């Protein structure tokens, strides 16, 4: 890879990526990516643990999360493709040449290897569409360009990128490869439990530090337990995001501001997020004075939602909530419009999080509400170089020509946390020591304040779960754009985060 001047000395950051299967416009726009092939599947140590992880990831097919978590006194909730590109300057040198000089001019003490597993392709690829830009931005910070200082020594940083392909089995495989082939010191992963949980499960089994994001904590914590009825804290795996209580905290205040019949319709599939939402919302609705109508636990990929829509119409459900895969929501929402189901307020989860998600539905997205965990309206700054949220969003739009994405902030924070944990340890290759520092993370960064030491409690009165940092999300609506983009994400409820001002009025999705 090419060299970059840092503090008067040459320092290099290497980012390796698996070859892209398929492609899109963003992939074509970025060139000169140094790639490494996926390592061949490994036999021997780690394979059995990964298989066990995959088995645990199917927990939702074997047990009712609602039943399990009610026993704990808590309902749980889970929450356009782009190639992930090199975050280093292109050059003709070998992609395996990852060492460089420290910023002080001394020789590097070695290389820290960070694995990054992200759904570049498949039905979750929209979550990863800004990751290439974030990695390039991270690479340019002094911390990553010059290396981490650990125990008085400076280490170069090597980021190895793997595509989970939005597939749980693939996610397990690439996590195992990063550990056994690339000798990763830490693995970062995003987005949704379908692909983050398998990665975290492999890391826990192999005793490799891991940080996950964009996965509600209940799905991440309970869904990975060998015995969900008797959950135990993890030792090597951590995460940050929010959970069921935050969805309720965002959505219910919005429901209360729209005149409605107090009936809530739920579109929840038979998968990790769907079953978790189904475990949470009935009690949450009842406590808020609403009745809940479950559309039924359908299989992902369903093409005909007529029975579900008829059920919602018969119940005269004015409020709509969901947690489907994005393509499934597109199909269902179009059919709902055709069949005359037009709820007064739609508050959706896991879908319509990004501008590209709006294209398939056109004007049917107008005034649909959802959650937002990061945006340019947040008054937060990078812990790496002081870049503001607004500046990060502006830089992405200038670089890509596309509208900002809320996943920019969460992906950026993964790399903030990595630096904090490594530099707080005495040896970057001591995985137990690095993991221990992850559980102590407490800082202010691009996603705001994050504290892994005072996580959520799994049940009222229970001890908090260590290693989970909580983001405070906002309630937002997609409204007709007033500038260069067709739709803008507008903050309409800040019940959970008063740091952010409300930017517009909440209006009915359908009058």
pLDDT tens per residue across span 153-195: 999 999 999 999 999 999 999 999 999 999 999 999 999 999 9
Rounded CA separation 305/283 (Å): 25
**Residues 428-477: tens digit of each pLDDT:** 999 999 999 999 999 999 999 999 999 998 888 888 999 999 999 999 99
Burial (Cβ within 10 Å: 0-12, 13-18, ≥19) of residue 364: middle
Whole-angstrom CA distances from 211 to 129, 178, 193, 234, 237 are 19, 14, 13, 12, 6
Q: Which domains are seen in the chain, by residue range?
A: 4-242+376-470 (3.40.50.2300), 245-372+473-493 (3.40.50.2300)
Contact call for residues 202 and 224 (beta carbons, < 8 A): no
Per DSSP, which regions of 224-350 are E strands?
237-241, 263-267, 291-294, 319-322, 345-348
Structure tokens at 471: 């983001």
Question: What is the Cβ-side half-sphere exposure of residue 353, based on CA atoms within 13 angstroms?
Answer: 32
Residue 215 confidence (pLDDT) above 60: yes
Q: What is the dihedral of CA 455, 424, 196, 116, to 10 degrees?
A: 160
Question: Phi-psi category of 152—alpha, beta or left, where left has phi over 0 and alpha has psi -120 to 50?
Answer: left
pLDDT at 404: 98
Strands (E), 140-203: 148-150, 153-163, 186-190
pTM for the predicted model, two decimal places:
0.81
Residue with tokens 């995959």: 54
Structure tokens given for 6:
């840092």
pLDDT tens digits for range 87-140:
333 332 222 223 233 333 457 899 999 999 999 999 999 999 999 999 999 999
Task: For 119-169, list the strands marked E by DSSP.
Answer: 148-150, 153-163
Per-residue confidence (pLDDT) for residue 16, from 0 to 100: 55
């Amino acid at each position: 890879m090419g060299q970059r001047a840092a503090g008067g000395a040459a320092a290099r950051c290497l980012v390796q990526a698996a070859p892209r299967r398929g492609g899109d416009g963003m992939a074509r726009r970025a060139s000169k990516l140094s790639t490494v092939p996926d390592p061949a599947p490994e036999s021997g140590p780690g394979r059995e643990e990964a298989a066990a992880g995959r088995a645990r990831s199917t927990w939702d097919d074997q047990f009712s999360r609602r039943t399990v978590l009610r026993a704990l006194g808590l309902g749980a909730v889970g929450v356009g493709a782009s190639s992930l590109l090199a975050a280093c300057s292109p050059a003709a040198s070998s992609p395996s040449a990852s060492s460089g000089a420290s910023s002080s001019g001394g020789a590097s003490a070695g290389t820290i290897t960070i694995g990054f597993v992200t759904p570049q392709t498949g039905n979750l690829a929209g979550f990863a569409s800004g990751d290439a830009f974030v990695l390039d931005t991270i690479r340019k910070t002094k911390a990553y360009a010059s290396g981490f200082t650990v125990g008085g020594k400076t280490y170069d940083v090597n980021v190895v990128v793997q595509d989970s392909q939005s597939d749980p089995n693939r996610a397990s495989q690439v996590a195992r490869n990063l550990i056994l082939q690339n000798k990763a010191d830490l693995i970062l992963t995003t987005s949704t439990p379908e692909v983050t949980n398998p990665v975290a499960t492999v890391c826990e089994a192999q005793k490799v530090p891991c940080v996950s994001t964009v996965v509600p904590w209940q799905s991440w914590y309970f869904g990975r337990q060998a015995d969900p009825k008797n959950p135990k804290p993890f030792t090597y795996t951590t995460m940050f995001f929010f959970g069921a209580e935050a969805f309720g905290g965002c959505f219910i205040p919005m429901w209360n501001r729209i005149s409605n019949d107090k009936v809530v319709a739920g579109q929840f599939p038979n998968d990790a997020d769907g079953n978790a939402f189904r475990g949470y919302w009935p009690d949450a609705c009842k406590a808020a004075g609403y009745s809940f109508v479950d559309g039924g636990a359908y299989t992902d990929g369903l093409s005909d939602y007529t029975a579900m829509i008829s059920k919602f119409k018969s119940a005269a459900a004015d409020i709509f909530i969901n947690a489907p895969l994005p393509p499934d929501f597109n199909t269902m929402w179009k059919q709902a419009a055709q069949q005359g189901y037009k709820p007064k307020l739609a508050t959706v989860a896991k879908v319509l999080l990004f501008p590209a998600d709006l294209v398939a539905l056109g004007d049917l997205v107008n005034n649909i509400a959802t959650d937002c965990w990061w945006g340019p309206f947040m008054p937060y700054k990078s812990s790496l170089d002081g870049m503001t949220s607004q500046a990060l969003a502006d830089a992405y739009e200038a670089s890509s020509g596309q509208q900002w994405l809320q996943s920019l902030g969460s992906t950026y924070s993964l790399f903030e946390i990595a630096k904090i944990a490594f530099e707080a340890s005495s040896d970057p290759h001591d995985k137990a020591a690095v993991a221990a520092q992850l559980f102590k993370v407490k800082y202010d960064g691009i996603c705001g304040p994050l504290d892994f030491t005072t996580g959520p409690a799994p049940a009222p009165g229970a001890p908090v779960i260590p290693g989970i940092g909580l983001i405070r999300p906002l309630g937002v609506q997609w409204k007709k754009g007033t500038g260069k983009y067709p739709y803008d994400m507008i903050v309409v409820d800040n019940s959970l985060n008063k740091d952010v001002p409300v930017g517009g009025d909440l209006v009915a999705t359908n009058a």
